[in-house]
Structure 1
């Protein structure tokens, strides 16, 4: 079919049919800490960057909604946060004689940032997102855009978005807010609209009416300084910006002024595009209750290994690392991985290695298991298997710099295990 001229409005109509989700975890670091310490649920929790237990240094990375009620905010100095919400003194919630009635309500729990742990939780969420959408753009550890145009329809978009939320809550244990809209900028606004635990769907014919009454500082990309300047121009709402002459906006803000005008009108032709090749593929699955019997655990490992290897094949990826995750009560994340002598595409190998790595947890109570392949390579070369690396007598084995490996190095590389967390 030739790329001839289109009838007026046809392209715009096709664009408006796009369905974009923005998924944003609510107080992500605090939510992760509650996974690790379930008794923190409902309590004020402050997670500090550069903070050490018992100290007053550092800055607030995340404050739970309960902590925010006391005036604790992100980027605030820990010393200031402690003035507004003192550290909880007295017994630990894990103590046998813990009595919450003996502790002041106007206190909270402070925890240091644990990025390795948070990244392991984020990867579990990202795995679900990639399973629910054809295109995913991860913009930070706790938020992503999804293009689900081919997965659902506007008539049932509410149900699809609810499915994404419920699956993350059920399989990972954290709460996310989801916004659905025909553009990326509107989807972002929609996910923020009803936090926490929000779900807001803005259909194409509702977009302008949804945006119009919003304060200008709620427009995507508008910070405090820009919001103040817009108000100085007499523009209080997105509807005001949409109805304004765009030329003064361009004079004041440059090309960004045109962008503000377009976004306020719901015009945003950006596509949801991945930020680059993924660094790993993983799948995880949780049990309703901790499981000690080896049978169900190995069955789940086998299923996850097959799913991960299949995705690598579909994406045209080779991998140098195979790993497993075992989460034991209360929420201790244990990972093991093995490096291979070269990039491979070998589902049988993934199955065998994951079983060998999981043997350590065969009789341990486990509440969640996961499988991961990492150190990916995306190339047009023929896919490889371990046989191709292990039995090609005329092909010397080399490291990443091209230097030939001796047999001791090969054995050490192929058998290496570590405690590296899923990233």
Structure 2
């Protein structure tokens, strides 16, 4: 029954027991460019959609915080950005300059796949909202209990663990909000950017929200904020203290929803965005290695792990692939398609090692193994012999992420209604697209 609770447990108590993380990658496209070009760290970076090097057309997809100091914002014309911050190579000796790069979505998806792999490993329920944003329900993995002799909660430790793993294993920053519901976690992750960690325990959500601008309430955009200002509502506290009937008269059912969110009430459950299209595991070496045996040993372990994960989820796979990252950060993928779905750990190992042989002498920073084209049917599981004769062509689904990573919502009558959370590139599928069995992301630069 909808809304059913255990005897003696109120709906509010059940909601307060929930532990939700909102993970938001900071200036993600710019962070990816810095991953590829470490010398860009600390420098103003502008990533443009429709932009080409040396040109002045296109729009800003994202700008690093250093670039934002010069008034550069998402969705701004590149020509306007260049007026405020010229390209570094064109700037006078006594003028600041910025580093402009075109959007490289395939590369960003590749990095996102590594981040989301960590998220899926850290939580049983993950809702991927976009290429750089996700909600995690970690209720069954931790608690709001405080650490003995410390004011910090166990839930905060999980949030810190997620941040540290992303930083250590992928090399990009993330801001994390921890709260008892989705909307509060979203506000918390935005509260201390970049690279922030904000924890809002149960019972303190409304107090946390009260002094914030009403625009911070999840779902309130510029148009609604202006209408609320006309009603004397400037802060989340003002909205929480408003007459809900008046809000409903002015904003319809959304008025009540925003009123509840300003009070810290949000009963929505974190729901996954669907079954994965692929499963993968990756491992980075302490430093680039040419040791053939070392690479083979790691790939063997990863293959066993991936095959076990597929089996535990009742998934069979039609494609087996590897990823090899070579210095400075060139991502190479290879894949072998099979004639039918299989559940065969030994085959995964054999195929992965065979594909790895192409990179036997290559200095390698990271390797990964993936199974894709998953099937979750109840059909008899099978294995294939003589896989060498299978088609070497692997055509895999890909979802195009939004062009503007963090662009503001357009100013229209419906501008501040949260966009539908569309299924995005699978956490383990991004950046692995294979065509004719062989693709390097460099091909898409």
TM-score (norm 1): 0.88
Q: Does the CA-based 8 Å contact 2:393-2:437 persist in structure 1?
A: no
Tell me if 1:48 matches 2:48: yes
Q: What is residue 150 of structure 2 aligned with on the other side? A: none
Q: Tell me which residue corresponds to 1:76.
A: 76
Greater gyration radius: 1
Q: Which moved more, 1:340-349 or 1:188-197?
A: 340-349
CA apart distance, 1:103? 4.6
CA gap of 1:264–1:141, structure 2 versus 1, over 3 A, is: same
The verdict on how the C-alpha distance between 1:413 and 1:365 changes in structure 2, with shifts beyond 3 A counting, is closer
Pairwise CA RMSD of aligned residues? 2.3
Check whether the contact 1:321–1:337 (CA below 8 A) recurs between aligned residues.
yes
Partner of 1:399: none
Q: 1:146 aligns with which of 118, 136, 154?
A: 136
Question: How big is each residue's C-alpha offset from its partner over 1:209-241, in whole Å with a ceiling of 9 and x where there is no partner?
Answer: 111111100011111111111111111111111
The aligned residue for residue 124 of structure 2 is 134
Task: Give the 5 Å matches for 1:255-294.
Answer: 255-294=253-292
Paired residue total: 392
User: 2:27 — aligned with what?
Assistant: 27
Is 1:241 matched up with 2:257? no
CA distance in 2, matches of 1:256, 1:381: 45
Distance (Å, rounded) in 2 between the aligned partners of 1:103 and 1:302: 53
Gaps of 5+ in 1: 92-101, 392-406
Choose between structure 1 and 2 for higher RCO, CA contacts under 8 A separated by at least 6 residues: 2
The answer (yes or no) to whether the contact 1:49–1:113 under 8 Å persists in 2 is: yes
Identify if the C-alpha distance between structure 1 residues 266 and 280 changes in structure 2 by more than 3 Å, giving closer, same or farther: same
| CA distance in 1: counterparts of 2:361 and 2:98, whole angstroms | 37
Q: Structure 1 or 2: larger helix share? A: 1
Unaligned runs of 5+ in 2: 146-153, 395-434
What's the secondary structure of 2:223's corresponding residue?
helix
Q: Judging changes above 3 Å, is the alpha-carbon distance between structure 1 residues 103 and 32 closer, same or farther for their aligned structure 2 residues? A: farther
* 1:316-348 deviation per Cα after TM superposition (whole angstroms, max 9, x unaligned): 212111111111111111111111111111111
Name the counterpart of 1:200. 198
Establish whether residue 251 from structure 1 lines up as the match of residue 271 from structure 2.
Answer: no
Instruction: Within 5 Å, give how 1:334-373 maps onto structure 2.
Output: 334-373=332-371
For residue 105 of structure 1, report the CA deviation from its aligned partner: 5.0
Render the CA deviation track for 1:123-152: whole Å, top value 9, x for unaligned. 000101000000101000001000011111
**199-208 or 150-159, which moves further after superposition?**
150-159
* 2:204 partner SS: helix
Deviation at 1:296, TM superposition (A): 2.0
Secondary structure, counterpart of 2:54 in structure 1? coil
What displacement does 1:413 show?
5.2
Q: What is the aligned counterpart of 2:178 among 157, 180, 185?
A: 180
**Cα pair 1:90 1:103 within 8 Å, conserved:** no
Over 4 Å off, 4+ runs: 3-9, 102-105, 410-416
Indicate the SS of the match to 1:385: coil
- TM-score, length basis structure 2: 0.84
